[in-house]
Structure 1
Amino acid sequence: MAETLLKSTTRHIRLFTARVENGDLVPDPEQLTLDLDPDNEFLWTEGTVTTIQTRFRDLVESYAGQPLNDYNLRRIGTELEGSIRELLQAGSLTYNPDCRVMNYSMGLPRTPELL
């Protein structure tokens, strides 16, 4: 029986029960893979990526021993979306002006002129 790939997709977070091998996702029920901002809506710095990756690791660790199911994947994805919003509101993360669609999905940018 082939292993089933579970996934959870939010606007800026994609989670997969898989590992990456040669650029392909290979189902792995013991591993969770994060795809961050696949549409490049934001301009990421090394620091902001590290913040999200650290939060991701912390969340995965907090779910240790619990089933890796759709519900728990959605909870992790939702928490990460909240972390992205916090970075944006703090001014640590900015929208990418070259994004194919500028829709301000996390709210209007917070700049000194707008505060």
Structure 2
Amino acid sequence: MAAPRKYPDELRERATRMVLDLLEDDPGSQRGVFRRVGDQLGVNPETLRGWVRQTQIDAGTRPGTTTDDAQKIIELEKEVRELRRANAMADSSGERKELCELL
């Protein structure tokens, strides 16, 4: 189960929108923008930088794994673990070997 989020979704959206708007106006002042907006909203600038990066990835303006794709990967990895566990249990009980012999 995932840990509870420290910041509400509305704050995340507002903060990323503020940063992206300021970066459009002056793209050369990235470091100052994250610090300034972070101080205004009480968010660590590095946390804010991560939110903005993920927003850009989700929007397709930056390369990387989107939030939806990351969730799918997590679900598939969980399924693989469950299947491997089931196979290991079948191997240890001899069920799987018996099935192979029948074929």
**TM-score normalised by the chain length of structure 1:** 0.29
Structure label with greater radius of gyration: 2
More helix by share: 2
Q: Which is strand-richer, 1 or 2?
A: 1
TM-score by length of structure 2 reads 0.31
